[in-house]
Amino acid sequence: MEENIIKIRNDIKSVIDNIIFLDIETSGLNPNKAEIIEIGAVKIKNGEVSTLNTLVKNNKEIPLEIFSLCSDLKKEDFKSALEFKNAKNKLLNFIEDKTIICHNASFEKSFLDINIPELKNKIIDSMELAAILEPYHKEFNLDYLKKTITNKYEDEKHRALEDAIDTLEVVNSLLFRLKKKEESEYTLEPLTFRINSYLNKFGLKPWEWSKLIEDGNYDISYENVRFEDYNHNNYRRENKKEKEIFDKIHSKHSNYEDLLKDESIWASKEGFIYEFRPGQYELTKTIRETFRGTNGASKIACIEAPTGIGKSVGYLLPAILESRLRNQRIIVSTDTKELQTQLINKDIPNILNSLGLTDKVSYGYIKGKNNYICVEKLEGYKSEYTPGETSQLDILGIIYLERLVEEGNYGDIEEINYWVIKHFEGINNHIIYSSCDPNLCKPKKCIKNCLYKKRVEELKEEDITIINHSLLAKWPYKEEKPIENLIVDEAHNLTEKGYEFFSAIVDSRVLLYFLQEIYPYENIYNSPFSYNKKFRKLKIFDKFYNHIRLDRSLKDKISRNINLIVEEISSLFIFGENSDYKNISNYNLRWELNLQENEVAGSIRKDNDYISLTYKAFTEKVKLSCESIIRNINSILVIIDRNMDDDSCDKESDVYKFGQSRFKDMEDMRNTLQAFLEYSEEDNYARIVDIDKGFKYFEFRVVPLNLADLFEENILSNLSTGIFLSATLSVGNKMDYFKRTLGINRVDNLEKVIDPIYDYKKRLSLISINDICSYKNNNFPNEISEIISDICDITQGHTLCLFNSKDRQLKTYDVLGNYLHEKDIEIYNDKKGIKVLKDINKRCVVLGSKGCFEGVDVPGDGLICATLDKIPNLNPRDPLYSTIMHKYNIPYHRINYPQLAIKIKQALGRILRSKYDYGCFIIFNVGSNNNTLRMLEKDLHGCKILSLNRSSLYKNIEMHIRKSREEVIKSAIIDISKSIKILNINDMKKLENYINKEIKSRSLNSKVMYMGDFKKTFKIKYFDIKYLINKEKLL
């Protein structure tokens, strides 16, 4: 082994000379617990390239998930691995004193500092280089950059040497792309000069990458870099395709939903299986009729489109064609960021391409103003930035933002990668001070090029605009694009989140930050914020104070008022810390301020007895604190208002307008707190207190209960066409709850439930377990872990475990991991494991909470079992729903059951999503309400909930899975044979390969083998199912 560790390499070229590219693989993420398992390095010394690569023996067992992550790594490989001491010495000798480049260097450094403290070389980060040179990327991980900026498209290996080489390739590409860009722009001041000049302003050393960039050898022959592709589509070909599509509609006098029957339009993507779905056709037809008002159709349609019918295509096709054919301007609202990204980056472009409409229908997404960086504010902030203390990373954070927005194409704050936020310390403050101000930002008057201005301008002519539900509720772009034609996907979420959208909130963290921003500069050293040296500078609000001629005595009064507000906020937390409330719950304290003050918050043990503690004492404290905060905010407002009215002030200046907008913000906070303290039995509000369990922050919410009125006023009244879609709108085969909550029942509307395309009763076994302890029992996570482990003996993993409680999920993960690792089954505790679950050749279990109830799509054999910890009942003491029940005299079951049913239907939808899906859905704790269970059976497509003990459970799962697999493989072979007859394949080896490729594309773990010309049969093996099929039947 040792003689192969170091090799001379003539096939690797580097722009940078006398450098080391290093990568390590580890047995985990925690450097205090995990170990280094592999070391890989590339050394470039005076133009010569050599590599080092070695596995490292570990003292602890390497987790199974690591072998899944690292390509081609096996346990037996470590038999010949070096002892750590030998590997360390090899590395130290190899790297000499050269600078080391790592991708995500902080990770490598955390392990090297603990395991190889002798290594004193300078380590710099190629992720930082990528972020500064090309800040617009959504990801900066090695896999993403390799596939985006180099000509190497294979997946990241997660092997040390391969990843070190990939890092070198990424750095080469970044430097070549920078050089080409600067040459094409005839830049007089190179980027490195500008960066170092700004760093020098603060007395900081030059950027560590600058000399390497400047001294790079750009004359090497290097072909792996991918430059930006500026070639446009072939418009002639697209025009011809569009004409063909429209001829198909007009020549047959058909409607555009008939395009879904034409496989030639849609089956253009390799590996994509197109199949006409009647439910999708029906969905598109209903939407077309609603848009056209055909046959007296209502302008509002509520459509339940079941899982698996291709809902996105079903509503995007009419959206695109209504835009193209009738110039309709459409807004599509979704609930999740993942779906918005999917629509923009995948679904809409694919449909446009299939229809020959690329670049002929415009589309994009937009968010609220404060989600964007303001170029003008950033420029001012950068030039005036005068921190008491700073660092290179702090300043590089400003440079990152400046680079991001400089061409006006980027600047969406939410799209700034998490690693960037974590790496560039202080960037959060930079973002806050440079984000668009909702009250000040006027795109029409702005002369700067920025993303927000660009998107607002595009909105005026844009055909299809993607937004999220929260922006829909307060749509601020009525002038640019009125809400006239609306398609709402995931519409069921509006009933739960609608209250949140229309709420007014005072968050102590936001309030404190605001007070910090307006605190007079002259008194900052005596303020509660004096510990934060970054705020010891003249702020924009100080300029406003000077602009309105506020004298020192008035600033002193404002300072005292702010101090009193901060003291009052702190007193709330001190009250909690020093009271019995500290020990009554592991969760936040939440209650309705007036209606629940006498309810029991929890119990405490005193003198060997349990005493109930109500919210009353804390309620009184909250009210007193709010009154004090309101008084002091009023004092500040009065002082500022008097001076703002002075006629000598220039009220058109930017400084004045900035102060005016902050004044309005302060008024809004005051008004919310006043509304929070007001109470009437007849009013339509809930006043909800939410105090952090650690007493670090609070939220006071004023929640309007008349959601139907608000939704009708803000949304429904403006619509020409409204489409509300979800896989789960109906309860009891009716949409009364959904329509009543949003006021849709008040307008003329169409209700449409599309029949499911699968036979749920055949493909799905729905089970509850009757010999398990209550979910409230401390042993519950242990019992469900044992059951899941036993289920995996049958399913070999391929299981998704859903939880209503994050705490219960974490406890189960800790216990279940021990069981599964003994069986060589991987376990993941978040959505990232879904990618592994999709690999039918891997054995894994994924645990998830609310985020996994929707948006998880694992086809075929990837997911054959889903579990749910308990029926997701609403807490009857939930402050919002408790208030609704009290004020409107609504019984608990009328509020609870619809939401319960929708959540379970969403969870159930994880199992059956395609024609070849099947499996079991297991609810560990169904409760004791038999009436609820019978109602659920009707809502879950008639599936009976079998109540089984554990021994019966395993037999049922085994029998159901086998029976389902028999049906699935038969269905797959029948479908494949239809295409074989069309293709006319006569070579049996080619036919065997074709069938196996088709089976794999359906995510089925089956293998077909031709038995030879003598037998003239194909042998099909699918788990323990075996068939022999005569070749004539296939042909």
What is the chain's mean pLDDT, rounded? Answer: 90
**Predicted local distance difference test score (pLDDT) of residue 753:** 93
Report the distance separating Cα 737 and Cα 721, nearest Å. 21
Residue among 950, 948, 925, 908 at smallest CA distance from 788 = 950
Q: Convert the pLDDT of each residue in 567-589 to its tens digit.
A: 999 999 999 999 999 888 888 99
Query: For the chain, which residues make up each domain, given as ranges?
Result: 2-214, 234-362+462-483+717-750, 368-461, 538-704, 760-948, 964-1034
Torsion sign, CA atoms 542, 545, 548, 551: negative
Helix, strand counts (H, E) of the chain: 38, 29
pLDDT at 740 over 60: yes
Neighbouring CB atoms inside 10 A of 414's CB total 8
Q: Which residues does 250 contact at the CB level (< 8 Å), separation at least 6?
A: none
Which H helix or E strand runs over 1026?
strand 1025-1030
CATH value of 760-948 in 1.20.120.10, 3.40.50.300, 1.10.10.10, 3.40.50.1110? 3.40.50.300
What would be the CATH architecture of the domain defined by 2-214?
A: 2-Layer Sandwich (3.30)
CATH of domain 234-362+462-483+717-750: 3.40.50
3-state secondary structure 413-470: HHHCCHHHHHHCCCHHHHHHHHECCCCCCCCCCCCCCCHHHHHHHHHCCCCEEEEEHH
Q: Per the structure block, which two tokens stand in for 5? A: 């560790």
Residue 842 Ramachandran class (φ > 0 left, ψ -120 to 50 alpha, else beta): beta
Asked whether residue 535 carries a pLDDT value surpassing 80, the answer given is: no
Residue 990 neighbours by CB under 8 Å, 6+ apart? none
* 19 and 44 Cβ atoms separated by less than 8 Å: yes
* Residue 83 DSSP label: P
Residue 445 burial by CB count (10 A; 0-12/13-18/19+): exposed, middle or buried?
exposed
Contact 677, 685 (CB under 8 A): no
Tell me whether the CATH fold assigned to 234-362+462-483+717-750 matches the one assigned to 760-948: yes
Please state, in angstroms and rounded to a whole number, the distance separating the CA atoms of residues 424 and 415.
Answer: 15
pLDDT for res 384: 81
Tens digits of per-residue pLDDT, 929-945? 889 999 999 999 889 99
* H or E, element range at 51: strand 48-55
pLDDT value at 961 more than 80: yes
Q: Any bridge partners for residue 592, and if so which?
A: 688
Overall pTM > 0.95 = no
* pLDDT over threshold 50, residue 366: yes
Closest by CA position to 812, among listed 780, 766, 838: 780
The per-residue pLDDT for 230 is: 37
| Residue 614 parent element (H or E) | strand 609-614
Please report the pLDDT score of residue 268 as a whole number: 58
Mean of pLDDT values over 363-376? 91
Amino acid present at 303 = I
Q: How far apart are CA 429 and CA 408, in angstroms?
A: 21
Whether residue 240 has pLDDT greater than 60:
yes
Q: Residue 332 pLDDT > 70, yes or no?
A: yes
Confidence tier at 267 by pLDDT (50, 70, 90):
confident
User: How much is the pLDDT for 650?
Assistant: 85
Q: How far apart are CA 724 and CA 495, in angstroms?
A: 12
Percent of the chain whose predicted confidence (pLDDT) is above 70: 96
pLDDT above 80 (res 26): yes
Spatial separation of the C-alpha atoms in residues 476 and 479, rounded to whole Å: 8
Helical spans, DSSP H, in 118-226: 126-133, 142-149, 160-184, 191-201, 210-214
The helix (run of H) or strand (run of E) holding residue 897 is helix 892-908
- Is the separation of the CB atoms in 745 and 751 below 8 Å? no
Residue 626 identity: C
Instruction: Identify the pLDDT of residue 269.
Output: 52
The enclosing H or E element of 847 equals strand 844-848
CA distance 564 to 583: 28
Query: Which amino acid makes up residue 145?
Result: L
Both tokens of 741, joined, read 């909550």
User: pLDDT (tens digit, 9 = 90+) per residue, 907-929?
Assistant: 998 999 888 999 999 999 998 88
User: Confidence class of residue 2 from pLDDT cuts 50, 70 and 90?
Assistant: low
- Average of per-residue pLDDT across 226-248: 62
Residue 670 tokens, joined: 């005051």
Q: Point out the least confidently predicted range of 78-87, 443-452, 625-634.
A: 443-452
pLDDT(151) > 80: yes
